[in-house]
A and B are shown apart, each in its own frame.
Chain A
Amino acid sequence: MTELERVLVALGRELDFPPAPDLVPSVRERLERRRFAFAPSRRVLALAVALVVVAFGIALAVPQARSAILDFFHIGAATVERVDTLPPAQERPLAAGLGPLLPRREAEIRAQLAIRLPDFDGPAPRRFYAQPGLIATLLHYRGKPVLLAELRDDQVGIAKKFAGPGTTVEPVQLGDFALWIEGGEHVIRWFFGVGEERRIDTTRFAGNVLIWLDGSTTFRLEGDLNKNQMLELARDITR
């Protein structure tokens, strides 16, 4: 090694590198996220969506098939069930039963989940609802309140959705799999806790809902928006 090369090596030790971050937690989190991700190829995904569309077509056309296929539909942490008679429910605010409002950091710690927010021009939410495995907030989009809830499917915090006979349930292209639920009377139930401690917190009538699975997280938007508006907002969250 020449003198110049030795000086360069020594100069390298004097360089002002920023302190190296600890990458282990962030890499672990991303690998964990992928562990739960349903990550088929686009072709397989397209085929799966097509099959679901066909299944829904059959369900709508044939009453027996409809009851067989739509008895119980599962997306990540959410289930959608079509029933003949709705359970007793009340008109309640969008965030009813989700607990007290918390600052973002506190809510994320309680939920053990970092919330993903849309990048849009509306006012950024400052207060959040949290339960273990669930984080939620109220957005104001196109002048209307919209409840955004994000749930971990490997934890508690399960949303269950009932759809009455007048309700449209339609698969849409978003994330790993998505359903758009609109019209008629339908109710939502939040389940919290596990085992014997599991409880139904609230049963209330719900507005238009978009539910989708992206990796290991289930996303749910509810509000008085049409399908295209809701999809637009959703794509801003999990783009």
Chain B
Amino acid sequence: MVGRPLDENDLIRRAQRGDKHAYEELVYAYQGIAFRTAYLLAGDGADAEEAAQDGFVKAWRALGRFRDGAPFRPWLLQIVANEARNRRRSAGRRAHLATRAATEHASGDAAPSPEVALLSAEQREALLAAVNELPEDQRTVITLRYFLGLSEQEVAETLALPTGTVKSRTSRALERLRESYD
């Protein structure tokens, strides 16, 4: 499975014809981003794993409806995101994110990236706390856009929202976060 060139469109077409090995390659390629998306939305590792797994199984069943040539990643993530949000609603939980440094070593042993290193540990935690405090719709957009690195268009497709809504939510969220950052 590793080391072979991955032609996504070819894998998708083979999977649509019922080739499970081709689909396994897609699962392998996207399991990381699917799990992290689910984690950001469900707020729990076990729920995220279940949501990602269920998402892949549902996506397999829905492959016949996948439009040839369309981007696969946001299509898949939309299914996973739905699963994750359903679990979060059932659990009545709100996702709470933490940095590795805060979780592992309050002393800050972990080496942060150069941009983050410019911030003090307190500033980092304050900014993340501000993200955690955002209204759910804004927080989701911010985490998918910046923490997972999805494009604006991908965020819109993943959350089944118009791009304009994603833009306005992002803008409002950044405005709030700027208060914590500045």
Structural contact, B35 and A21, CB atoms closer than 8 A: yes
Categorize the interface residue count of chain B.
35 or more
Q: Residue B100 contacts which of A6, A7, A16 (CB distance < 8 angstroms)? A: A16
Q: Residue A31 contacts which of B60, B102, B110, B177 (CB distance < 8 angstroms)? A: B60
Knowing A11-B99, A12-B147, say if A20 contacts B24 (CB, 8 Å): no
Q: How far is the CB of B11 from chain A (nearest CB, A)?
A: 14
Q: A residues 24-44 with Cβ under 8 Å of B?
A: 24, 26-28, 30-32, 34
Structural contact, B48 and A23, CB atoms closer than 8 A: no
Structural contact, B147 and A15, CB atoms closer than 8 A: yes
Structural contact, B49 and A23, CB atoms closer than 8 A: yes
Knowing A9-B146, A14-B101, say if A27 contacts B27 (CB, 8 Å): yes
Q: How far is the CB of A117 from chain B (nearest CB, A)?
A: 19
Q: How far is the CB of A5 from chain B (nearest CB, A)?
A: 6
Structural contact, A5 and B115, CB atoms closer than 8 A: no
Knowing A26-B53, A28-B20, A30-B53, say if A12 contacts B124 (CB, 8 Å): no
A61 contacts chain B at the CB level, 8 A cutoff: no
> When chains A and B are docked, how far (Å) is the Cα of A11 from the Cα of B124?
8
Structural contact, B57 and A6, CB atoms closer than 8 A: no
Structural contact, B174 and A5, CB atoms closer than 8 A: yes
> When chains A and B are docked, how far (Å) is the Cα of A138 from the Cα of B88?
37
Which residues of chain A have C-beta atoms less than 8 A from B24's C-beta? 24, 27-28
Structural contact, A10 and B115, CB atoms closer than 8 A: yes
Structural contact, B148 and A12, CB atoms closer than 8 A: yes
B149 contacts chain A at the CB level, 8 A cutoff: yes
Structural contact, B116 and A7, CB atoms closer than 8 A: yes
Q: How far is the CB of B23 from chain A (nearest CB, A)?
A: 7
Which residues of chain B have C-beta atoms less than 8 A from A22's C-beta? 31
Structural contact, B113 and A10, CB atoms closer than 8 A: yes
A239 contacts chain B at the CB level, 8 A cutoff: no
Which residues of chain A have C-beta atoms less than 8 A from B131's C-beta? 8
> When chains A and B are docked, how far (Å) is the Cα of A5 from the Cα of B175?
11
> When chains A and B are docked, how far (Å) is the Cα of A11 from the Cα of B123?
11
B112 contacts chain A at the CB level, 8 A cutoff: yes
Structural contact, A14 and B97, CB atoms closer than 8 A: no
Q: How far is the CB of A10 from chain B (nearest CB, A)?
A: 4
Which residues of chain B have C-beta atoms less than 8 A from A5's C-beta? 146, 174
B77 contacts chain A at the CB level, 8 A cutoff: no
Knowing A11-B127, A27-B24, A27-B27, say if A16 contacts B178 (CB, 8 Å): no
Structural contact, B31 and A11, CB atoms closer than 8 A: no
Structural contact, A15 and B97, CB atoms closer than 8 A: yes
A93 contacts chain B at the CB level, 8 A cutoff: no
Structural contact, A20 and B32, CB atoms closer than 8 A: yes
Structural contact, A21 and B149, CB atoms closer than 8 A: no
> When chains A and B are docked, how far (Å) is the Cα of A12 from the Cα of B36?
11
B52 contacts chain A at the CB level, 8 A cutoff: yes
Q: Residue A7 contacts which of B20, B36, B127 (CB distance < 8 angstroms)? A: B127
> When chains A and B are docked, how far (Å) is the Cα of A10 from the Cα of B52?
25
Q: How far is the CB of B97 from chain A (nearest CB, A)?
A: 6
Q: Residue B178 contacts which of A4, A11, A14 (CB distance < 8 angstroms)? A: A4
B104 contacts chain A at the CB level, 8 A cutoff: yes
Q: How far is the CB of A159 from chain B (nearest CB, A)?
A: 29
Q: How far is the CB of B119 from chain A (nearest CB, A)?
A: 7
> When chains A and B are docked, how far (Å) is the Cα of A7 from the Cα of B99?
13
> When chains A and B are docked, how far (Å) is the Cα of A202 from the Cα of B1?
44
Knowing A5-B174, A6-B115, A18-B45, say if A27 contacts B99 (CB, 8 Å): no
Q: How far is the CB of A216 from chain B (nearest CB, A)?
A: 14
Q: B residues 15-39 with Cβ under 8 Å of A?
A: 20, 23-24, 27-28, 31-32, 34-36, 39
Additional A-B contact list (13), CB under 8 Å, known A18-B39, A21-B31, A22-B31:
A10-B114, A11-B99, A12-B143, A14-B116, A14-B124, A16-B97, A16-B98, A17-B39, A23-B31, A23-B56, A24-B24, A24-B31, A30-B57
